């Protein structure tokens, strides 16, 4: 199997701003490529990381019962690919590699059919164990042994996901009827093969084969090259436990994130939410997704607040390795307090709107944000359309410039925009403030500028990936949560970096002055965890 991988170099200059120089190149196995030009830097300020988007070898029937021997034969096919990627990464001095959720065993099992795929997992908090050097200490640990040996062979920290089992006693009130717990588990090995820690997935996504642990695992592991890392899995990213609680520790500046994420546009594509999480918390986010394009599963990356190296490919069936040089202390986006020099006119208009200029805020026909200029604008109609299975309230975005506001429940979303040219596309500004109840139950507040699927209002909210409309805009809302994730996606599943993201006068705002390609989605995605 030929595997493509991308090597990217991200470099910074200490604590200064304007820090990123990047060189990327793509290599196919067996094909020589030009070595990257690495900007001068202090190695002590960076580490080398890798994530692998893996197209897993799957059982033909996940409901069928298999022997342990048959299960190991299938899993070893995936582990062989993992080992190849570790050795490629080792050639680039990678210090930590992340593999995806379900990459070794697959998915869609029943509780019974997954059992032959499960390794026994002792608690690393209670037992210090090196599976590669002590293979006979525990039974049914063949997968853990191979992963441990890979970490040694590649001389790197290794993060992988597997199914694990843990016997329990009948006097344990949570013990399942079959006498064992079954967990969706991430494991972390050090470069000497020691099992450093494990995280058992808390927020299961329709995973009948697995149990959620009785108490949430809050796992932070330390590394000699970059300090503290947090860890969680896939669907966990949308919930307070454990993702948000982990990041209450200010020393956690990096997260490793195995996932088997099915993309859902316009607001929850894998690379969208990964990047948004990195920006929102000012951290490095190392995300490895599974690669099954026919199931809508692709999208991995090494993300920092100011730069991302990502892979999203719905056409190529091959796996993909991303390698990047990452700053140990990631720099956040420029906030309001960092702006210097003369303020541009659009930002002056934005601040006047926030200050409550009566013409700006109350006159639906004219916007007088800059007192010397009048923008004539007919109040557009409000309509409803389904987006992400939720009933959004929207207004069309017409004309080359303007100011719009749309409200639902207590949330009002505002858009101040300019367009260099008009495209033959319909865009809309939408708001949702309510409980999302499809494929999970959680409370969302969202302000979203989206390209519609066609020219009809009922197409707004459809999944599209291509667009030509370019905008310079401020998007803001009076959110009642501080947990806001900025989403910015352009044509061809391209990530863009906001110029600014933060708070001003109790409004969360997102600002972008120019896009490299047509806008697909610009959104502020808020989560009210206490109302789930």
| Active-site residue, 413 included | no
Catalytic residue from among 201, 307, 451, 512: 201
Q: Which residues contact 452 (CB under 8 A, 6 or more apart)?
A: 425, 426, 427, 428, 459, 460, 461, 462, 464
For residues 190 and 192, what is the distance between their CA atoms, to the nearest angstrom?
5
Neighbours of 68 (CB within 10 A): 13
Least Cα distance to 498 among 512, 518, 516 occurs for 512
Three-state secondary-structure class, residue 360: helix
Is 330 exposed, middle or buried, given 0-12, 13-18 or 19+ CB atoms closer than 10 A?
A: buried
Which residues in 235-379 belong to E strands, given as ranges?
A: 252-259, 284-289, 300-303, 308-311, 320-327, 366-367, 375-376
Whole-angstrom Cα Rg for the chain: 24
Neighbours of 214 (CB within 10 A): 12
Please state the φ and ψ torsions of residue 414, each to the nearest 5 degrees: -125, 145
| Active-site residue, 530 included | no
Strands 157-167, 96-98: pairing kind? parallel
Neighbours of 401 (CB within 10 A): 16
Catalytic residue from among 53, 101, 425, 496: 101
| Active-site residue, 234 included | yes
The 3 state secondary structure assigned to 58-100 is CCCCCCCCCCHHHHHHHHHHHHHHHHHHHHHHHHCCCCEEECC
Catalytic residue from among 234, 369, 413, 447: 234
Strands 21-28, 46-53: pairing kind? unpaired
Q: Which residues are catalytic?
A: 101, 201, 234
């Amino acid at each position: 199997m030929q595997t493509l991988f991308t090597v990217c170099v991200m470099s910074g200059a200490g604590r200064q701003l304007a820090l990123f120089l990047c060189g990327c190149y793509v290599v196919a196995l067996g094909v020589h490529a030009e070595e990257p030009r690495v900007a001068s830097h202090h190695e002590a300020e960076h580490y080398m990381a890798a994530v692998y988007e893996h197209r897993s070898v799957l059982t033909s029937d996940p409901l069928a019962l298999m022997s342990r021997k048959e299960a190991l034969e299938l899993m070893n096919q995936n582990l062989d690919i993992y080992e190849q990627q570790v050795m490629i990464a080792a050639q680039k001095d990678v210090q930590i590699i992340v593999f995806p959720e379900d990459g070794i065993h697959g998915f869609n099992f029943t509780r019974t059919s997954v059992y032959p795929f499960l390794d026994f997992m002792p608690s690393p908090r209670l037992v210090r164990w090196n599976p590669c050097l002590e293979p006979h200490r525990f039974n049914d640990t063949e997968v853990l042994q191979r992963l441990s040996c890979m970490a040694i062979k590649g001389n790197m920290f290794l993060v992988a996901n597997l199914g694990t089992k843990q016997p329990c006693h009948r006097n344990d009130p949570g013990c399942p009827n079959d006498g064992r717990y079954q967990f969706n588990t991430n494991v972390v090995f050090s470069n000497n093969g020691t099992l450093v820690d494990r995280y058992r997935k808390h927020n299961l996504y329709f995973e009948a084969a697995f149990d959620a642990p009785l108490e949430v695992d809050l796992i932070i592991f330390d590394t000699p090259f970059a300090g503290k890392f947090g860890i969680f899995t896939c669907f966990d990213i949308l919930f307070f436990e454990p993702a948000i609680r982990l990041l209450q520790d200010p020393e956690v500046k990096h997260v490793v994130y195995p996932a088997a994420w099915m993309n859902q546009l316009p607001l929850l594509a894998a690379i969208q939410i990964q990047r948004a999480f990195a920006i929102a918390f000012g951290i490095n986010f190392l995300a490895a997704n599974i690669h099954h394009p026919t199931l809508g599963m692709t999208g991995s990356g090494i993300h920092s607040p100011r730069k991302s190296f990502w892979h999203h490919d719905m056409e190529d069936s091959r796996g993909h390795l991303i390698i990047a040089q990452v700053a140990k202390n990631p720099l956040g986006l420029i906030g309001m307090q960092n702006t210097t020099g003369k303020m541009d006119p659009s930002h002056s208009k934005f601040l006047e709107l926030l200050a409550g200029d009566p013409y700006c805020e109350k006159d639906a026909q004219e916007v007088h944000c800059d007192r010397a200029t009048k923008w004539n604008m007919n109040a557009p109609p409000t309509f409803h359309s389904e987006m992400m299975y939720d009933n959004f309230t929207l207004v069309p975005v017409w004309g080359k410039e303007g100011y719009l506001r749309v409200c639902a429940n207590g949330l009002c979303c505002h858009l101040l925009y300019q367009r260099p040219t008009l495209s033959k596309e319909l865009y809309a500004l939408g708001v949702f403030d309510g409980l999302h109840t499809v494929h999970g139950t959680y409370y969302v507040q969202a302000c979203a500028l989206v390209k519609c699927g066609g020219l009809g209002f009922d197409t707004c909210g459809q999944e599209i990936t291509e667009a030509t409309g370019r905008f310079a805009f401020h998007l803001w809302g009076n959110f009642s949560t501080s947990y806001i994730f900025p989403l910015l996606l352009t044509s061809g599943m391209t990530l863009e970096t906001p110029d600014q993201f933060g708070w001003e006068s109790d409004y969360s705002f997102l600002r972008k002055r120019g896009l490299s390609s047509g806008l697909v989605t610009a959104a502020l995605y808020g989560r009210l965890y206490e109302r789930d």
